[in-house]
């Protein structure tokens, strides 16, 4: 059994009920490589599950965030986007480059050595200073992507 089925077991072990909206939303996020908004998920599910409305999707997403199964991103365009947390997703640990113009999100995993060192050092220091156990981090940089830069010239 690969990483594929483990999330179900993990949820059940924690005593979480796997309702249909929860299950299908997780499935949509698993099958996506991008960062989806509630509306994107709604569009994706609507044909097959017309009974799942946008309100249910919003509510379920909030719950899944609280359960730490998904991560929510607010990129300033008033549309939250979601992706599976590292523990439950298929993606490797990555950081984000976010275009503030077209809201495209680039995942990158080709970290610069200094970047990793800096993060490790920072985490160590913060843990010591605040006696706080850091278990993960989300790093995003905002800017303007190549395509948008081309459009400007
Ligand atoms: Zn990182
Ligand atoms: Zn852009
Ligand atoms: Zn991402």
d(CA 117, ligand 1 centre) in Å? 10
d(CA 93, ligand 2 centre) in Å? 23
Burial class (CB in 10 A: 0-12, 13-18, 19+), 132: exposed
DSSP label at residue 69: S
> How far apart are alpha carbons 82 and 29 in whole angstroms?
8
Burial class (CB in 10 A: 0-12, 13-18, 19+), 42: buried
81-106 burial, b if ≥16 CB within 10 A, otherwise e?
Answer: bbbbbeebbeeeebbbebbeeeebbe
What confidence tens digit (pLDDT) does each residue in 19-71 have? 899 999 999 999 988 899 999 999 999 999 999 999 999 999 999 999 888 98
**Can you list the domains of the chain with their CATH numbers?**
1-90 (1.10.10.10), 92-153 (3.30.1490.190)
d(CA 80, ligand 3 centre) in Å? 13
What confidence tens digit (pLDDT) does each residue in 105-125 have? 899 999 988 898 999 999 999
Ligand nearest to the CA of 119: 1
d(CA 41, ligand 3 centre) in Å? 16
């Amino acid at each position: 059994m690969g990483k594929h089925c483990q999330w179900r077991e993990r949820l059940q072990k924690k005593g979480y009920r796997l309702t249909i909206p929860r299950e299908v939303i997780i499935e949509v996020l698993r099958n996506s490589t991008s960062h989806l908004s509630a509306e994107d998920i709604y569009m994706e599910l609507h044909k097959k599950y017309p009974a799942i409305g946008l309100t249910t999707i919003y509510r379920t997403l909030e719950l899944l965030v609280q359960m730490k199964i998904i991560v929510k991103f607010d990129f300033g365009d008033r549309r939250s986007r979601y992706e599976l947390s590292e523990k439950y997703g298929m993606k490797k640990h990555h950081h984000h480059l976010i275009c503030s113009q077209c809201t495209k999100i680039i995942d990158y995993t080709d970290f610069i050595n200094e970047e990793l060192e800096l993060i490790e050092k920072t985490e160590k220091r913060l843990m010591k200073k605040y006696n706080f156990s850091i278990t993960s981090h989300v790093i995003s940089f905002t800017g303007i992507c190549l395509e948008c830069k081309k459009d400007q010239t």
